[in-house]
Amino acid sequence: MRPILVFDLDGTLVETATDLVATLNVVLEQEGLAPIRYEDARAMVGHGARALIERGLAANNVTRDTATIDRLFDTYIAYYAAHIADTSRPFEGVVAALDHFAAEGWLLAVCTNKLEGLSNLLLDELGLSSRFAAICGADTFAARKPDPLALTETIRRAGGDLRRAIMIGDSVTDIDTARAAGIPVIAVDFGYTTVPVTELGPDVVIGHFDELADAVTGLMVRA
């Protein structure tokens, strides 16, 4: 079976924080609350829309009951879907890296905690979805990252070989998922994490997608 690279989405393949934060601020302002500066809110991204809303509320020193959070979540998703790629773009070097591995015969897949529908919509808008054999989100399977089921089932759906798979992500969630699945993991150092990925124990850390080919080669040799 063909080897496979499985990518996280937000903060790994695509810089989505600008649109995620803009949507958060729309929701907060509709609640009569202060918007969050992008520089502060970027660090809040990476754990899903509900967690982002809760962090935005906490930054305003307020809380809301579950029913209100559910309503804000629905508002968030509807607005975000309509503005999903206003400013979001692939990180520098992503397209060239995907081209390289496709030419080398690798399968490519996405395993994200973004909702599957939003993941497909974003990648469609960016012209990237056709590059992936599977695009799996938080609601695709019975479990989401860091449960290894999300990763192993993504690999299965893509037609890949678990023994020849590598995960690429930006956070402790991705690293823990790969470790639980017994898969090597490469971390990018430009994503959404409050703890530097160098402190989280990935197999390799890269600072640009130009470095991915050498990182993958090194892991395959090591295996």
Name the catalytic one among 8, 19, 176, 203.
8
Instruction: With H, G, I as helix, E, B as strand and everything else as coil, classify residue 188.
Output: strand
Scan for tokens 């759906």, then name that residue: 157
Instruction: With H, G, I as helix, E, B as strand and everything else as coil, classify residue 40.
Output: helix
Q: What is the identity of the amino acid at 41?
A: A
Residue 10 DSSP symbol: B
H/E stretch holding 66 = helix 66-82
Binding-site residues for Mg(2+) sit at: 8, 10, 170
CA–CA distance, 201 with 40 (Å, rounded to integer): 25
Percent of the chain clearing pLDDT 70 (strictly above): 99
- Least Cα distance to 88 among 38, 116, 123, 135 occurs for 123
Confidence of residue 223 (pLDDT cuts 50, 70, 90): low
pLDDT at 61: 95
User: In the predicted model, is pLDDT for residue 222 greater than 90?
Assistant: no
Classify burial at 190, counting beta carbons within 10 Å of its beta carbon; exposed 0-12, middle 13-18, buried 19 or more.
Answer: middle
What are the structural domain ranges in the chain? 4-15+88-222, 17-82
Q: Give the tens place of pLDDT for each residue, 150-162.
A: 999 999 999 999 9
Q: Give the global pTM.
A: 0.95
User: In the predicted model, is pLDDT for residue 32 greater than 90?
Assistant: yes
Name the β-bridge partners of 164.
Answer: none
> Which residues, 6 or more positions from 95, have their beta carbon under 8 angstroms from its beta carbon?
128
Pick the CATH number of 17-82 from 1.10.150.240, 1.10.3720.10, 1.20.120.1730, 3.40.710.10: 1.10.150.240
**Once rounded to an integer, what is the mean pLDDT over residues 44-69?**
92
Q: Give the tens place of pLDDT for each residue, 87-102.
A: 999 999 999 999 999 9
**Once rounded to an integer, what is the mean pLDDT over residues 6-20?**
97
Pick the CATH number of 4-15+88-222 from 3.40.50.1000, 3.40.190.10, 3.40.720.10, 3.40.50.2300: 3.40.50.1000
Could you give phi then psi for residue 138, rounded to 5 degrees?
A: -65, -25
**Once rounded to an integer, what is the mean pLDDT over residues 52-70?**
94
Binding-site residues sit at: 8, 10, 170
H/E stretch holding 211 = none
Mean per-residue pLDDT of the chain: 95
Residue 124 a catalytic site member: no
Q: Give the tens place of pLDDT for each residue, 168-207.
A: 999 999 999 999 999 999 999 999 998 999 999 999 999 9
- Least Cα distance to 14 among 89, 93, 84, 86 occurs for 89
Instruction: With H, G, I as helix, E, B as strand and everything else as coil, classify residue 60.
Output: coil
**Is the fold of 4-15+88-222 the same as that of 17-82?**
no
